[in-house]
Amino acid sequence: MSLGTGDRAGILGRVREALREKAPLKHPAERSAGGEPTTAHFREWLPPVGPSIDEKYALFAKLSEQLRSELLPCPDVAHAAAAVSALAQQLNWKTLALHRGSLLDQLAPLLPPELALIYVDAGYDKDALEACDAGVTECDLLVAQTGSVCVTSTSAGGRVLSVLPPHHFVLARRSQLVTDLSEAYSTLATRYRENYPSMISFITGPSRTGDIERILVLGAHGPKRLTLLLLP
């Protein structure tokens, strides 16, 4: 729909009027000793997170449900493998993509032999990866305050495994829970100070869009299902 001259002038007039008023600042400008802006005061606007690991987990679980992520607590790797195997049998999966990792190397031998495993570490065929029924990765962190899973090119077997397959499994531990994004970035900076990953992604629920008539569509730009297999 095009705007008439009068409509355009009215809209621009309201914009000019709004710009005359400065936005209220809740906090004065604060800077750290190094001259960079601090982030601690911005946390006052965000949902509070309890200090204990149980409180972080409770908030993460609540947000996962709201975001339509599937959170499956697993007492050990065998139970995680059983959960993947049950879905594979139920949905008649043929292939599963994954990468090498301390947790995945324990998971892979426990999966059914009829499920073909495609490892991406030594290269992959893009078409074969897109045709996979599901992909499973490890991750760096779980962000309690936003219900996000943080993956990097280092922890998730590269850039594509968490994007191309339609169902993304994440194998993680409760100890990977952090409070918020500030703590997440600080942890990543400490962990990868000498060799920063080429990709960092915060996955907050399945891929989605609501652009068309405000109707939520899952799987618009990536996996339509996200399942977190959470170990103690």
Q: Around Cβ 46, how many Cβ atoms within 10 Å?
A: 13
Confidence at residue 56, expressed as pLDDT on a 0 to 100 scale: 96
Residue 75 domain-assigned?
yes
- Is the Cα torsion angle 4, 8, 11, 13 positive or negative in sign? negative
Residue 14 domain-assigned?
no
Confidence at residue 14, expressed as pLDDT on a 0 to 100 scale: 87
Q: Report how far residue 131's alpha carbon sits from residue 18's, in angstroms, rounded to the nearest whole number.
A: 51
Residue 222 domain-assigned?
yes
Residue 192 domain-assigned?
yes
Considering its fold, how many domains does the chain have in total? 1
Confidence at residue 104, expressed as pLDDT on a 0 to 100 scale: 98
Read off the CATH number of the domain in which 220 is found. Answer: 3.40.50.10420
Confidence at residue 7, expressed as pLDDT on a 0 to 100 scale: 79
Taking the model in full, what pTM does it have?
0.79
Q: With left for phi above 0 and alpha for psi between -120 and 50, is residue 219 left, alpha or beta?
A: left
Residue 19 domain-assigned?
no
Tokens found for residue 51: 């200090």
Residue 24 domain-assigned?
no
> pLDDT > 90: what percent of the chain?
64
- Could you tell me the residue range of the domain that residue 120 belongs to? 49-231
For residue range 32-62, what is the model confidence (pLDDT) as tens digits? 444 455 556 666 667 789 889 999 999 999 9
pLDDT less than 50: residues of the chain:
1, 31-35
Residue 174 domain-assigned?
yes
Residue 196 domain-assigned?
yes
Please name the residue that has the structure tokens 């991406």. 120
Query: 139, exposed or middle or buried, with CB in 10 Å at 0-12, 13-18, 19+?
Result: buried
